[in-house]
Chains A and B, each alone.
Chain A
Amino acid sequence: MNAIECKDVCFSYGEEGGFAISHLNFSVEEGEFVAILGHNGSGKSTLARLFNGLLEADAGEVDIFGVKLDEKTLYEARKRVGLVFQNPDNQTVASIVEDDVAFGAENVGLPREEIGQRIRFALSAVGMEEYRSSLVSRLSGGQKQRVAIAGVLALKPSVIVLDESTAMLDPRGRREIMQVVEKLNKEEHITVVLITHFLEEAMMASRAVVMNRGEIVMHGTPKEIFSRHEELLTYNLALPRIGEICKKLQAAGLGVRDTLDIEELAEDIAGELTCAS
């Protein structure tokens, strides 16, 4: 079953700029881990906001688990599709971690015991149990972002959409979030839509699409997309540094495979340098 399905969706912000999303067809299957790549202004964040009705499509329809998103189904859809945004500081509403995580669950009117259980579940899923009573303002960026994810998890969503949720974090924070996301997908079977401009993060997904000017211009496995790096450049997406090194070595005639993994690349380089050719 499709968790999210967009049928010929158009959206414009009502400026002369034209469509932010233009006749887009796209679906995400239940349990999938899909990455949406695109440079700034490609329409990827607009798309995320169409997935749970923060924005309403001008034309076409968005279906969530087969139900068309409209005014009546909006609130049900939001329980199923949770969004995590870029700036951790813009997503916290309470000063104590557990209050913040409880906010969404309280809002939908769950019974008190149930909320307690869900806070425990959500905080342990993101590895933040010990910070339950901490001040949100004292946490690092990565920790705040994990609290934001916990707040979404407390609603037991089927789909989590992360809109550049690692962009403002340092490398450690970024790794923390990616580990949590991978675990949620594998162990909790939550469908993940990861919006990013980092190809190395997209490598964790089972499928990736590239957006440009409100349209999907490339799709395939992350590896396939990576191997078409010249096409990526035309959409203003650069390879991560390791990809560049890999491509430059290939261009210089070294037999290394397409990879963004340090160990794999080192193995191939070592093979080239030590073989008795």
Chain B
Amino acid sequence: MRIVAEHLTHTYNAGSPFAVKALDDVSLTIEEGEFFGVIGHTGSGKSTFVQHLNALIRLPSSLKHYKKPKAKKGQLPPPEPILKVGDFDLSSRKTDFRALRKNVGMVFQYPEYQLFAETVYEDVAFGLKNFAEKGHAPTKEETDAAVKEALEIVGLDFQAVKDMSPFDLSGGQKRRAAIAGVIVTRPEILVLDEPAAGLDPLGKREIMELLHTIHGKWCKTVVIVSHDMDEIAENCTRVAVFSEGRLVYALPPKELFQKAEELKSLGLDIPLTAKLVLALKARGVELSCDFTTEGLLSAILERKEGKA
């Protein structure tokens, strides 16, 4: 499923004195199969953007009583926002939003706070039951198989945890169980808001490895929102940078992180690898690399061998 957004605009509290334009004319295409990163300072509009992807925020044109904005005298009407996720047209009222949401899984920040059921099994099975077609409730066997598979892919032992209270799991396990509860419906697109926030370095690494496993096997497209530039540089195929509601860049990390000054002026950091490249440049050593750790290491070692 391809995600196509054109002229996407969103104003919170529209028509009131508290109106805030959170997204302003954003056009962006995310191809199927990408491991896509979304970055931006707090309040940049990045969360508003990803919440559109499974219609947590609806386009005005998909709501009842929608009236097309009239053009001001002597001006062209503002462009109609378009958002398509695969064949789902999110600007239309006729779209089956339930089917859309089944296909676009959303993992919020600190998903472990959303665990609620009495057992891990019930928690993971909830989404499955919720998204079942009317009259086609999954059988016990189907549920068993799906929950087992989802728990195993996130690295939890089905037999060991299924009857446990999710609140008795450790922090890292809770997060895994919460992710299992989202991917159990096999969404094509998985969107995660700060999936590794608050974890220790090892936990972070494990979660990112897990996302790569899911990306290959379960979900064709993964979209992550992150503040951690190292995480972005290391994992993403392409990165969208938001600032004040606008899309500023949509580039592969290799190109994006050469713009250290521009990113700084947007209040954003650059990855450690890019900082090292800059610090080396200041000392007269110019290296080019893709800003992954491996890429930087091999660039340094190649240069060293060239010298020797």
Give me the interface of A with B, judged by CB distance under 8 Å. Answer: 39-41, 86, 140, 167-168, 170-172, 197-199, 236-242, 244-245, 248-249, 252, 254, 262-263, 265-267, 269-270, 272-274, 277
Q: Which of B95-103, B239-247, B277-285 contacts A (4 or more CB under 8 A)?
A: B277-285
On whether the beta carbons of A40 and B283 are closer than 8 Å, the reply is: no
For B296, what are the chain A residues with a Cβ–Cβ distance below 8 Å? Answer: 245
Given A245-B276, A270-B280, 20 further pairs, Cβ under 8 A = A40-B170, A170-B42, A171-B228, A171-B229, A236-B200, A236-B202, A238-B202, A240-B201, A241-B272, A242-B272, A244-B293, A248-B293, A252-B297, A262-B275, A266-B283, A269-B300, A273-B304, A274-B284, A274-B285, A277-B307
For B24, what are the chain A residues with a Cβ–Cβ distance below 8 Å? Answer: none
On whether the beta carbons of A39 and B200 are closer than 8 Å, the reply is: yes
Could you tell me the distance in whole angstroms from the C-beta of B109 to the nearest C-beta in chain A? 9
The yes or no answer to B269 lying at the interface (CB within 8 A) is yes
* Distance of A240 Cα from B267 Cα, bound (Å): 23
Could you tell me the distance in whole angstroms from the C-beta of B207 to the nearest C-beta in chain A? 13
For B42, what are the chain A residues with a Cβ–Cβ distance below 8 Å? Answer: 140, 170
On whether the beta carbons of A171 and B269 are closer than 8 Å, the reply is: yes
* Distance of A265 Cα from B307 Cα, bound (Å): 19
* Distance of A172 Cα from B39 Cα, bound (Å): 14
For B301, what are the chain A residues with a Cβ–Cβ distance below 8 Å? Answer: 252, 254
Size of interface on B: residues with Cβ below 8 Å to A? 37
Select which of B170, B198, B293 is within 8 A of A245 by beta carbon: B293
For A140, what are the chain B residues with a Cβ–Cβ distance below 8 Å? Answer: 42
Contacting A at CB under 8 A, from B261-305, are 267, 269, 272-273, 275-276, 279-280, 282-285, 293, 296-297, 300-301, 303-304
Chain A residue nearest in CB terms to B171: A40
Could you tell me the distance in whole angstroms from the C-beta of A52 to the nearest C-beta in chain B? 23
Query: Given that A238-B202, A252-B301, A270-B280 are contacting pairs, would A170 and B307 also be in contact in the complex, using a CB cutoff of 8 Å?
Result: no
Could you tell me the distance in whole angstroms from the C-beta of A247 to the nearest C-beta in chain B? 11
26 A-B pairs within 8 Å (CB atoms) are namely: A39-B200, A40-B171, A40-B200, A41-B170, A168-B197, A170-B42, A170-B227, A171-B269, A197-B200, A197-B201, A237-B200, A237-B201, A238-B201, A239-B201, A244-B293, A245-B272, A248-B297, A252-B297, A252-B304, A254-B301, A262-B272, A265-B279, A270-B280, A270-B283, A274-B283, A277-B307
The yes or no answer to B127 lying at the interface (CB within 8 A) is no
Most buried by A among B200, B269, B284, B303: B200
Chain B residue nearest in CB terms to A167: B198
* Distance of A142 Cα from B267 Cα, bound (Å): 14
For A269, what are the chain B residues with a Cβ–Cβ distance below 8 Å? Answer: 276, 280, 285, 300
* Distance of A171 Cα from B197 Cα, bound (Å): 11
* Distance of A39 Cα from B202 Cα, bound (Å): 9
On whether the beta carbons of A245 and B227 are closer than 8 Å, the reply is: no
* Distance of A40 Cα from B227 Cα, bound (Å): 21
On whether the beta carbons of B297 and A249 are closer than 8 Å, the reply is: yes
On whether the beta carbons of B198 and A270 are closer than 8 Å, the reply is: no
On whether the beta carbons of B227 and A171 are closer than 8 Å, the reply is: yes
On whether the beta carbons of B284 and A270 are closer than 8 Å, the reply is: yes
Select which of B198, B200, B229 is within 8 A of A168 by beta carbon: B198
Select which of A198, A262, A273, A274 is within 8 A of B201 by beta carbon: A198
Could you tell me the distance in whole angstroms from the C-beta of B25 to the nearest C-beta in chain A? 26
* Distance of A40 Cα from B275 Cα, bound (Å): 29
* Distance of A272 Cα from B303 Cα, bound (Å): 10
